[in-house]
Amino acid sequence: MQPDLELVAVRRDESFKVWSHGYPYRTVRWHFHPEYEIHLIVATTGKVFVGDHISSFVPGNLVMVGPNLPHNWVSDVPEGETVERRNLVVQFGPEFVAHCMESFPEWRQVEALLAASRRGVSFGAQTSAAIQPLFIELLNARGLRRIVLFMSMLEVLVSAQDSELLASPAYQTDPSGFAATRINHALSYIGKNLSSDLRESDLAQLAGQSVSAFSRYFRRHTGMPFVQYVNRMRINLACQMLMDDELSVTDICYKVGFNNLSNFNRQFLLAKGMSPSKFRRYQHLNDASRDASDEAAARGDGVANAPAIVPAVQKRGRVRISAGAYRAT
């Protein structure tokens, strides 16, 4: 059975995603994603599937899975019954890992754990007990506290003496093969053609399904109807464009695939709680605060011994500190 692709959305103002869900839930199926995942079961028993590994789980089951490794937890819950909170989840992407590797030499200690997670790593009761309070606090943590808790969790996992690899050495993940499944092919097509006229009937034909079957499968996979999903993707693209003043709001409306301005404004307000023009004004306010800070620094305003602001330059798609930009005073 081919696994489904889970679309993990990490907020722009956060480095990783932490959340919980109950049972049944739409992600409780055989699936994969490019992100690393730390998964803790807090309620129910059942079967855990990781790659070609199958075993039983109980509350306290703690597993870390690597990028594109298919996995699933199926609980022994009678039909019709629901569980409010079954598991806790942390997900973080390869780019975040790469940035940490580049920024913190100490992060090298995590490399072995990350490599092992590509087969799935299960941890024993002792490590699970140490992780759970950190996990619970992390659910509601904000700001730097999130980073502290996340790093503390990794420190516990790196030092664990009760870990076990799950998938066999011969098991190889093949995300290119997974992406060839019908729904994932459709999602990829949507992402590449947002500015085009996207019709559910055309995507159903692309997936080789009837419209009704495709509609049910799409909603089960993404958690939302086809039109709502396409609108959300278009709004996300519009937000990126609104951060630049090169295009007017009207131009952006048509470039992201909306066919009239009033519908674009309505959908943007629904998704973001503000109009596109107000979103852009907030970005200008953010830019203005930076400019005002630069001007104050040039005048010598501010508290003595305050931190220096070192200008950065963009080079080959990465932000680097400009050479000679800072000098001691």
What are the mean pLDDT values of the chain's consecutive 10-residue runs (329 residues total)? 81 91 87 94 94 92 95 89 95 94 92 95 98 97 96 97 89 61 79 89 85 86 85 85 86 92 92 85 59 47 40 36 30
Percentage of residues of the chain with pLDDT beyond 90:
49
Q: What is the pLDDT of residue 178?
A: 61
**How many Å from the N-terminal Cα to the C-terminal Cα in the chain?**
65
If you ran DSSP here, which 8-state letter would residue 307 be given? P
Domain segments of the chain as ranges: 4-165, 181-223, 229-329
* Separation CA 155–CA 150 (nearest Å): 9
Which residues, at least 6 apart from 228, have a Cβ–Cβ distance to it below 8 Å? none
Tell me the residue length of the chain: 329
* Separation CA 212–CA 200 (nearest Å): 10
Residue with tokens 């079967």: 47
Residue 4 in 3-state DSSP?
strand
* Residue 329, number of CB atoms within 10 A of its CB: 4
Q: 219-267 pLDDT, tens per residue?
A: 877 778 999 889 988 988 888 788 778 899 999 999 999 989 999 999 9
CB 217 within 8 A of CB 209: yes
Q: What is the pLDDT of residue 240?
A: 77
Instruction: State the virtual CA torsion across 318, 6, 135, 59 in degrees, nearest 10.
Output: -160
Task: Provide the CATH number for the domain formed by 4-165 in this structure.
Answer: 2.60.120.10
Element (H, E) at 18: strand 17-23
pTM of the entire predicted model: 0.61
Q: At what angle do helices 200-207 and 182-192 cross, to 10 degrees?
A: 140
DSSP 132-153: HHHHHHHHH--THHHHHHHHHH
Q: Which CATH class is domain 229-329?
A: mainly alpha
